[in-house]
Structure 1
Amino acid sequence: MKNSRNLIVVDDLRDWQPDWKNYPVISADEYVADDAYSSAGYRIINLCRHDHKLSMGYYTSLLAEARGHRAMPTARTLQSLMSKRIYEAQLEELNDAVRRSLSRIIQEDFSLSVYFGQNLAASHAKLAQTLFTIFPCPLFKVQFIYRDDGWEIGSLRPMGLGQVPKGHLFKVKEAIDGFLSKRWRTERDRQTGGNYDLAILHNPSEKHPPSNARALKNFIRAGEEVGLDVELITKSDLPRLLEFDALFIRETTSLDDHTYRFATKAEREGMVVIDDADSIRRCCNKVYMHELLRKNRIAMPRTEIVSAKNIDRVAADASYPLVLKIPDSAFSLGVFKVSSEVEFLAKAAELLEDSDLVLAQEFLPTDFDWRVGVLDRKPLYVCRYFMSKDHWQIYNHARKDEDRMGEFDTMAVEDAPTDVIDTALRAANLIGDGLYGVDLKQRDGKCYVIEINDNPNIDAGVEDELLGHELYERVMRSFLDRIERSKQRDDVAPGSED
């Protein structure tokens, strides 16, 4: 086969017009389930619907990324299109194009459909191409609203092939032909340099923050010792973000809130960021994690992706008990143990109301879980977290007393089992070179990765029990090194832009 093969993915094969050119077209269900499409070399044209954050369209692009495929759109683009706060920050360059294109529109709202950078009306061709350059999504619709001071974007939504009006399909076909006849272009982020100011994003009201108050103070002191001016900021400080040269997110991350917006804005401005937006996106979804680990042959509990179409089959074939997981769950929330087929069907059906896919995972009972902290592709700390009293998880959210969380044991990296460290590094290095926490279980002489966290706990009195202040210094020195490397890159090519 060729090194690069186009593959068009649609929600329903009936959406693909029978008289169109014979491109390779498959359904999203087939792409998700068939191992034949897990090999490298594919270029995925994702024409699926994306009506909500955990749609099949989103999973298609997310799995493409895990499989090493080039996807249009990327999961990151879809995430941006679903968040007005994210895409608004990228629209400044559109002002002139919008004003020229819509100058003769007399109504107060106007919708523009963009098909691979094209529109039915020649008068809007430049605007459509500009939108496609900023948001490389095959099919999407933009609603413009006229305010007192001019036109602005009211909404920007991706479309599936089945949502395109029949009268527009000829244009979609023309646009697909034109797009596939050209070479794909790769997005690159603009990078600029910086000095020595670090912002730590935290939430003073968070119940289970990744770093407690004492740990945050330790980070500030360690930063000052290595030459960084460190300041704690909160979500209200987004307008001030560009005052800093680096961002350290010490707040539970999510694709749906300000933490992801902070990461994307900081990266777009060339700042050093931990957690970076790609790490947040990859680690926040367990479907992506499952596919990534499977693709790279890293052991994990037996796992099956559950959808509305296969729920009965999976329930009938499963060995109980097993664990059901919402793909974007965090801190043991959204994770449920079911002990029978009846429980499985009831809980899975409930979870599928909010997500097109759910994970069903083998239950591996152990007395404790390993957590390996990884920074710059090297082990930073190792902890064993023991299960909460009379519970199957480390944290029992149903309890309010001191037994809601199990005990812990922090040890030297060199004293931890070699296979635990090696497996954790292999897993974390698939995500990037940031700060990660890899959760693992050991059972019957084998090591299994449970998940990779982009925002691992570093609490005073727990993860720092062995290294003490040195743990915080290592993290701060990593920021310093990253800032200085970024500055050196700028010095090589001053004023250049990608």
Structure 2
Amino acid sequence: MSGYFVVVDELDDWAPYFPSREVISFDQYLAKTDIPADQTVRILNFCRNKRALGRGYYCSLLAEARGHKVIPNISVLNDLRRKKLYTLKLEEVAKSIAKLKPAGNAAQVTFRVFLGECQQAEFAELAKSIFERFAAPVLEVTLEYDGQWSLEKVHTLSLKEISDEAEQEFLANTLEKFSNRLWRKPKTRKHYRYDVAMLVNAEESMPPSDKKALNHFIKAADKLGINLETIGKRDYVRLAEYDGLFIRETTSIDHHTYRFAKKAEAEGMVVIDDPTSILRCTNKVYLADLLRTNKVPTPKTLLLSHTDKDSLQHAIDYLGLPIVLKIPDGAFSRGMYKATNMDELVDAMKKLSKTSALVLAQEFLYTEYDWRIGVLNNKPLYACRYFMVKGHWQIYRHDDGKKAATGGFETMPTYEVPQAVLEASLKACRLIGDGFYGVDVKQTKDGRVAVIEVNDNPSIDSSVEDKFLGQALYYEVMAEFLRRLESQ
């Protein structure tokens, strides 16, 4: 049985569009009580009456009760009933509204949003923003102009209210793009048990995984009966089509990766990196205090908020020289300085204080390499030693306008890793969650172990992290997805 349905009041409502057996009436959906509870079902609710206790309302209500993923959901329908409720949620689209130019002498304009898209190019950004907050098949938006644009009204439309042929064609094309597998499902398509989205950014200069590694993940998922599809930033509105989300793009809190993770979690999807892990890992200030409080071995650390020499002298007295300074959300050795004297310390603090109120200061521990321990569901998965760039103190060196230089690496089985390194890594990960992490650890010549940070989105590149496990590394990650999907 198909896992996709478009629900309409009467089948005649679909007459202007291409026939499909996935299009059913409200009464037919009401009678479908035999769908197995563990089957993933997605519903597009095109019913007319979405007021409380109307058919459209009951369609979404029944879908949620049956565990089906529905657009629009009950929360959206309830919010759109009252202007005070939906205007609160639309505060974030104020920037998009502010960008709009006056429309001649018009004091009011109305446009329609079809699954996040609209026919008028000038409203494209606003349409997408509104749909992200109120996912409904068709929305009508009214703006008023009085020196500046403001949102007057947002409400849902049914198929019956779309009588213009150009609009009907636009909706049909948008539907086709929105859910490609619904409208163009090849007859020979392999039957998958689950669909998982893999969020990537093809333009990222230093992505967590190269193209070969991404393909290895896709092949491993295929063997497990998982359809793993790559998606990008623009596919936010399509998340409800999937059962899981695998983020393979560098994460940050003030970033679309975090919004993707939050939405996926809200949809009840299996998600790695989960939003809690992103929150705990991406801010080094939070992470440093978390590790210190729970007695995980780390370098001596201070949080600095001032550039005056008295506080900086205290840092030198406590940490010694050199001192390593870091911004809270740096990645791949970016936003880091090593200060060897007071002048360098003052200069680095002034630079970093421009972007962050707090700066992390740590004692400098010299090692020839950094350990990276990959941990999945609180179990060690892989181990690498990343060596420092020749003549440099980090494993990455960023030169302006040039590709980042890297040191060598050595991949090995986890059973060859010193026990103290493994124990510190696992202890740190247990504080974060049960996701997929990469723990950076230093081990000095005298045996001292110090956790530098926990990465929620660890690097997995072909012929590097997979050097020892090979395809088994990708298989283990996707097998964890399968385990979590089945446990739901």
> Normalization by structure 1: what TM-score?
0.60
1:247–1:273 Cα contact (<8 Å) kept: yes
Pick one of 64, 80, 85 that aligns with 1:95. 80
Partner in structure 2 of residue 147 of structure 1: 151
Pick one of 206, 210, 214 that aligns with 2:212. 214
Matched, 1:459 2:461: yes
1:304–1:359 Cα contact (<8 Å) kept: yes
Q: Give the 3-state SS of the residue equivalent to 1:230 in structure 2.
A: strand
* 1:330/1:100 CA distance change after superposition, 3 Å: closer
Partner in structure 2 of residue 485 of structure 1: 487
Partner in structure 2 of residue 398 of structure 1: 399
Aligned-residue offset at 1:346: 2.0
* 1:361/1:99 CA distance change after superposition, 3 Å: closer
Aligned-residue offset at 1:92: 6.3
Q: Distance in 2 between matches of 1:385 and 1:204?
A: 25
Partner in structure 2 of residue 342 of structure 1: 343
Partner in structure 2 of residue 275 of structure 1: 273
Aligned-residue offset at 1:462: 0.3
Q: Distance in 1 between matches of 2:281 and 2:332?
A: 12
Q: Identify unmatched segments of 5+ residues in structure 2.
A: 1-73, 88-93, 95-148, 156-191
Q: Distance in 2 between matches of 1:212 and 1:100?
A: 43
- Corresponding residue pairs, total: 317
Q: Give the 3-state SS of the residue equivalent to 1:291 in structure 2.
A: helix
Pick one of 288, 292, 295 that aligns with 2:293. 295
Deviations 1:47-94 (A, max 9, x none): xxxxxxxxxxxxxxxxxxxxxxxxxxxxxxxxxxxxxxxxxx987644
Partner in structure 2 of residue 134 of structure 1: none
Partner in structure 2 of residue 436 of structure 1: 437
Higher relative contact order (CA 8 A, sep 6+): 1
Q: Distance in 1 between matches of 2:86 and 2:248?
A: 43
Partner in structure 2 of residue 253 of structure 1: 251
Q: Which amino acid aligns with 2:477?
A: V
| The 10-residue stretch of structure 1 (414-423 or 314-323) with the greater mean CA deviation from structure 2 | 314-323
Q: Which amino acid aligns with 1:435?
A: F
Aligned-residue offset at 1:472: 0.5
The alignment yields a C-alpha RMSD, in angstroms, of 2.7
Within 5 Å, give how 1:47-446 maps onto structure 2: 93-99=78-84, 146-149=150-153, 196-308=194-306, 312-318=310-316, 319-398=320-399, 404-443=405-444, 444-446=446-448
* 1:402/1:333 CA distance change after superposition, 3 Å: closer
Deviant stretches of 4+, over 4 Å: 89-93, 99-102, 399-403
* 1:100/1:461 CA distance change after superposition, 3 Å: closer
Deviations 1:198-238 (A, max 9, x none): 11111111111111100000000000001101111111111
* 1:303/1:417 CA distance change after superposition, 3 Å: same
Q: Give the 3-state SS of the residue equivalent to 1:260 in structure 2.
A: helix
Q: Give the 3-state SS of the residue equivalent to 2:81 in structure 1.
A: helix
Deviations 1:427-479 (A, max 9, x none): 11110000000000001211100000000011110000000010000001000
Partner in structure 2 of residue 157 of structure 1: none
2:278–2:456 Cα contact (<8 Å) kept: yes
* 1:92/1:283 CA distance change after superposition, 3 Å: farther
Q: Which amino acid aligns with 1:147?
A: L
* 1:316/1:467 CA distance change after superposition, 3 Å: same
Q: Distance in 1 between matches of 2:439 and 2:478?
A: 20
Aligned-residue offset at 1:340: 0.9
1:389–1:404 Cα contact (<8 Å) kept: no
Q: Distance in 2 between matches of 1:233 and 1:403?
A: 26
Q: Distance in 1 between matches of 2:86 and 2:474?
A: 53
Aligned-residue offset at 1:101: 11
Q: Which amino acid aligns with 2:302?
A: E
Q: Which amino acid aligns with 2:372?
A: R
Deviations 1:219-277 (A, max 9, x none): 00000001101111111111111111000000111112211111011001000000011
Q: Give the 3-state SS of the residue equivalent to 2:198 in structure 1.
A: strand
* 1:280/1:406 CA distance change after superposition, 3 Å: same
Q: Distance in 2 between matches of 1:198 and 1:226?
A: 12
| The 10-residue stretch of structure 1 (429-438 or 402-411) with the greater mean CA deviation from structure 2 | 402-411
Q: Distance in 2 between matches of 1:401 and 1:412?
A: 33
Q: Give the 3-state SS of the residue equivalent to 1:149 in structure 2.
A: strand
2:369–2:388 Cα contact (<8 Å) kept: yes
Q: Identify unmatched segments of 5+ residues in structure 1.
A: 1-88, 103-108, 110-144, 152-193, 487-498
Partner in structure 2 of residue 132 of structure 1: none
Q: Which amino acid aligns with 1:474?
A: E
* 1:99/1:372 CA distance change after superposition, 3 Å: closer
1:316–1:341 Cα contact (<8 Å) kept: no
* 1:227/1:94 CA distance change after superposition, 3 Å: same
Identity of aligned residues (%): 49
Partner in structure 2 of residue 171 of structure 1: none
Q: Distance in 2 between matches of 1:99 and 1:451?
A: 44
Aligned-residue offset at 1:363: 0.6
1:307–1:357 Cα contact (<8 Å) kept: yes
Q: Distance in 2 between matches of 1:422 and 1:310?
A: 39
Q: Give the 3-state SS of the residue equivalent to 1:429 in structure 2.
A: helix
Q: Give the 3-state SS of the residue equivalent to 2:464 in structure 1.
A: coil
Q: Distance in 1 between matches of 2:195 and 2:325?
A: 42
Aligned-residue offset at 1:352: 1.5
Which structure's CA Rg is the greater one?
2
Q: Distance in 1 between matches of 2:253 and 2:265?
A: 15
1:324–1:358 Cα contact (<8 Å) kept: yes
Q: Which amino acid aligns with 2:393?
A: W
